[in-house]
Amino acid sequence: MVNQWIETAHDRGASDIHFEPLDKDDRLRVRMRVDGELRGVETVNDGRKVIARLKVMAGLDVNERGVPLDGRIKFSASGGGRGGLDLRLSTTPCMGGEKAVLRLIDSSRLGMSLEDLGYTKRMLDLYRPHTLAPYGLLLHVGPTGSGKTTSLYAVLTSLNRTEINIQTVEDPVEYDVAGITQTQVSHDLGLTFPRVLRALLRQDPNVILVGEIRDPETAEIALEASMTGHLVLSTLHANEAVGALIRLLDMGMTPYSIAYALRCVVAQRFARRLCEQCRKKVTPPEALARLIGPGRAIYTGEGCKACQRTGFSGRIPLYEYMPMSDALKKAAYGETTPDALQAVAARSGMITMFEDGLEKASAGLTSIEEVLRLTKGLRTSPRSTAHRRPTTSATASSSGAAPRPSGTGSAPAARPAPPRQTGPQARPTSQSDVIPGVRPAPARPGAPRPPRPPGVR
In the complex with Zn ion, the residue whose CB is nearer, 119 or 299, is: 299
Q: Are 26 and 47 in contact (CB under 8 A)?
A: yes
In the complex with Zn ion, the residue whose CB is nearer, 301 or 323, is: 301
Determine the residue with CB nearest Zn ion.
Answer: 275
In the complex with Zn ion, the residue whose CB is nearer, 8 or 184, is: 8
Contacts of Zn ion in 342-361 (CB under 5 A): none
For the CB of residue 46, give the shortest distance to Zn ion in the complex, in Å: 36
For the CB of residue 441, give the shortest distance to Zn ion in the complex, in Å: 13
Stretch of 19-27, 213-221, 283-291, 303-311 contacting Zn ion, by CB under 5 A = 303-311
In the complex with Zn ion, the residue whose CB is nearer, 291 or 307, is: 307
For the CB of residue 448, give the shortest distance to Zn ion in the complex, in Å: 23
**Interface with Zn ion: number of residues (CB under 5 A):** 6
* Neighbouring C-beta atoms of residue 122, cutoff 10 Å: 15
For the CB of residue 418, give the shortest distance to Zn ion in the complex, in Å: 14
Q: Are 100 and 54 in contact (CB under 8 A)?
A: yes
For the CB of residue 340, give the shortest distance to Zn ion in the complex, in Å: 44
| Residues forming beta bridges with residue 234, ordered by sequence position | 139, 210
| Residues forming beta bridges with residue 34, ordered by sequence position | 14, 37
For the CB of residue 88, give the shortest distance to Zn ion in the complex, in Å: 32
Type of residue found at 435: I
DSSP 3-state assignment of 77? Answer: coil
In the complex with Zn ion, the residue whose CB is nearer, 273 or 404, is: 273
For the CB of residue 364, give the shortest distance to Zn ion in the complex, in Å: 13
Q: Tell me which of 307, 343, 344, 361 binds Zn ion, using CB under 5 A.
A: 307
In the complex with Zn ion, the residue whose CB is nearer, 193 or 299, is: 299
In the complex with Zn ion, the residue whose CB is nearer, 101 or 304, is: 304
Binding mask 263-302 vs Zn ion (x if CB under 5 A, - otherwise)?
A: ------------x-xx------------------------
For the CB of residue 275, give the shortest distance to Zn ion in the complex, in Å: 3
In the complex with Zn ion, the residue whose CB is nearer, 313 or 352, is: 313
454 Cβ contact partners less than 8 Å away, ≥ 6 residues apart: none
In the complex with Zn ion, the residue whose CB is nearer, 24 or 305, is: 305
Q: Tell me which of 44, 114, 304, 438 binds Zn ion, using CB under 5 A.
A: 304
For residue 441, give the nearest of 267, 203, 277, 215 by alpha carbon. Answer: 277
Query: How far is the C-alpha of 51 from the C-alpha of 180, rounded, in Å?
Result: 35
Stretch of 66-74, 90-98, 99-107, 307-315 contacting Zn ion, by CB under 5 A = 307-315
In the complex with Zn ion, the residue whose CB is nearer, 73 or 278, is: 278
For the CB of residue 311, give the shortest distance to Zn ion in the complex, in Å: 6
Per DSSP bridges, beta strands 207-210 and 231-236 are: parallel
Classify residue 65 by its DSSP letter: -
For the CB of residue 11, give the shortest distance to Zn ion in the complex, in Å: 14
Stretch of 53-61, 214-222, 288-296, 304-312 contacting Zn ion, by CB under 5 A = 304-312
User: What are the strands of the beta sheet with 166-170, ordered from one edge?
Assistant: 181-184, 166-170, 207-210, 231-236, 136-141, 262-274, 312-323
Stretch of 117-125, 288-296, 306-314, 438-446 contacting Zn ion, by CB under 5 A = 306-314
CA distances from residue 377 to 33, 36, 367, 409, 414 in whole angstroms, order as listed: 21, 15, 18, 10, 10
Q: Are 105 and 72 in contact (CB under 8 A)?
A: no
For residue 239, give the nearest of 18, 15, 36, 387 by alpha carbon. Answer: 36
Q: Is 78 exposed, middle or buried (0-12, 13-18, 19+ CB in 10 A)?
A: exposed
Query: String of b and e for 398-420 (b: at least 16 CB within 10 Å)?
Result: eeeebbbbbeeeeeeebebebbe
For the CB of residue 312, give the shortest distance to Zn ion in the complex, in Å: 8
The residue ranges of DSSP E strands in 95-174, in sequence order, are 97-105, 136-141, 166-170
In the complex with Zn ion, the residue whose CB is nearer, 143 or 419, is: 419
Query: How far is the C-alpha of 76 from the C-alpha of 282, rounded, in Å?
Result: 39
Q: Does 50 contact Zn ion by CB under 5 A? A: no
Hey, what's the torsion of the CAs at 107, 112, 118, 119, to 10 degrees? 140
Q: Which residues bind Zn ion (CB under 5 A)?
A: 275, 277-278, 304, 306-307
